[in-house]
Amino acid sequence: MSEPTELDVVDVLLVEDDDGDVLMTREAFEHHKIRNNLHVVNDGEQALQFLRREGEFADAPRPGLILLDLNLPRRDGREVLAELKNDPALRLIPVVVLTTSEAEEDIVRSYALHANAYVSKPVDFERFIEVIRQIDDFFVTVVKLPS
């Protein structure tokens, strides 16, 4: 496999309020030498501001992938997902719901709201790192996404 070029680098938006999960995701990116740019916001309101380039996020890049937790303060991940997929300017950005919930209701609702994938966060650190690598490999390396 060839070394990624600057054009291959993707901006990834992580919407996560748990500092430990943010740290593990950052470590997973470093551990696997993932060269994508990881941007982090801590609640659903910030996520929408980032995506719409509002306020402090006026210069935010358009992410090529969103990793979205469901249980967020101010506006939960389900609301963010619904708004994203109803916005013609944002709906094509792939969204991976990355959450601790394994509830069938959350899985069904996420797909009904047009999530591109639903992944339950492993509690084991090594498994978590592997899941992040697999998400990156699939959505950034394997899948062809619109520009």
Cα separation, 120 vs 147, whole angstroms: 28
**Measured over all CA atoms, what is the biggest interatomic distance in the chain, rounded to whole angstroms?**
42
* pLDDT recorded at residue 43: 96
Could you tell me which residue, 64 or 3, shows the higher pLDDT? 64
24 token code pair: 């593990």
Contacts of 57 (CB under 8 A, 6+ apart): 46, 49, 50
> What would the pLDDT profile of 49-71 be if each residue is shown by its tens digit?
999 999 999 999 999 999 999 99
Task: For residues 128-142, give the mean pLDDT.
Answer: 85
Q: Which residues pair with 41 in a beta bridge?
A: 15
Residue 36 has pLDDT above 90, yes or no: no
Q: For the chain, what are the domain ranges?
A: 14-74
φ/ψ of residue 46, rounded to 5:
-65, -35
Tokens 């938006």 sit at which residue? 13
* pLDDT recorded at residue 88: 94
- Backbone conformation region of residue 53, classed left if phi is above 0, alpha if psi is from -120 to 50, else beta: left
- For the chain, the straight-line distance linking the first and the last C-alpha, in angstroms and rounded, comes to 22
